[in-house]
Amino acid sequence: MSLPLHHPGDALLMDYAGGCLGEAGGLVVATHLALCPGCRCAVAELDAVGGALLEELEPDALAPGALDRLFARLDEPPPYEEPPTPPRIAPPAVPSLIPEPLRRYVGGNPAAMRWRMMAPGFQCVDIPLSRGERARLIRMKGGAAAPRHSHEGLELALVLDGGFSDALGQFARGDVAVGDGSIDHKPVADPEGCLCLSVTLGRLRLTGAVGRFLNPFMRL
């Protein structure tokens, strides 16, 4: 299997690692990670940097008696822990067309999904997410062309099968196309057609600042 050539980019990976991306954007990035070892490594490094930054924070003053309670707990026997159970199903030797975590939302068999017609040559399955966010699977027939369009928010499209081309390039399995309001594009499906996961995000804070790692923790 060839590796993806188009990646979400540093800003989106940082938002994902910092937990700022929301469920829809997170679903696209996490599914891309299942297909892209390079971005998996990048997110692991970002997690490590985020953890190191947290350790740099000044600790709060201890509550009265906290140290005594801590020492008392150290004298207690360790809690019983269930031994880890081995996974019941071995991971497939051939990666599934619909990898996790997307598989958890829509299942693994596109033929069993409830497709609805969007336009000639275009079908979709809506994926309801929590907090009113939405994602969709889109299936394009070979050679089908979407109307030229741009986006108010940020559109992320992850190719799962086949591919498409637009002004930004050619996109195949695992590739993520990132379109914003400045891009006016007209995707055309490859001859074998295209299956992709698509989300449009209204608002995103893509400042790329390292401080955003701390945003989710500061809001607690």
Nearest CB to Zn ion, comparing residues 29 and 194 = 29
Angle at alpha carbon of residue 48, lines to 56 and 58, rounded to 5°: 10
Pair type for strands 122-128 and 116-119: antiparallel
Q: Which is nearer to Zn ion, 169 or 211 (CB)?
A: 169
Q: How far is the CB of 29 from Zn ion (least distance, A)?
A: 9
Minimum Å gap between C-beta 16 and Zn ion is 11
Residue 172's nearest CA partner among 153, 158, 182 is 158
* Residues 14 and 46: beta-carbon distance below 8 Å: yes
Q: Taking a C-beta distance cutoff of 8 angstroms, is the pair 137, 196 a contact?
A: yes
Of the pair 7, 173, the CB lying nearest Zn ion is at 7
> Can you tell me the distance from the alpha carbon of 21 to that of 166, in angstroms, rounded to the nearest whole number?
25
Q: How far is the CB of 156 from Zn ion (least distance, A)?
A: 12
Comparison of 20 and 39: residue with beta carbon closer to Zn ion: 39
Please, what is the minimum distance in Å from the beta carbon of residue 2 to Zn ion?
Answer: 12
Residues that bind Zn ion (CB under 5 A): 7, 36, 39
Of 218, 205, 207, 197, which Cα lies nearest the Cα of 21?
A: 205
Which residue's CB is nearer to Zn ion, number 9 or number 143?
9
CB of 63 to Zn ion, least distance (A): 44
The nearer residue to Zn ion, 27 or 39, going by C-beta atoms, is: 39
C-beta of 173: minimal distance to Zn ion in Å? Answer: 12
CA angle 107, 196, 150 (to 5 degrees): 140
Cα–Cα distance measured from residue 162 to residue 172, given in angstroms and rounded to the nearest whole number: 6
Contact 173, 161 (CB under 8 A): yes
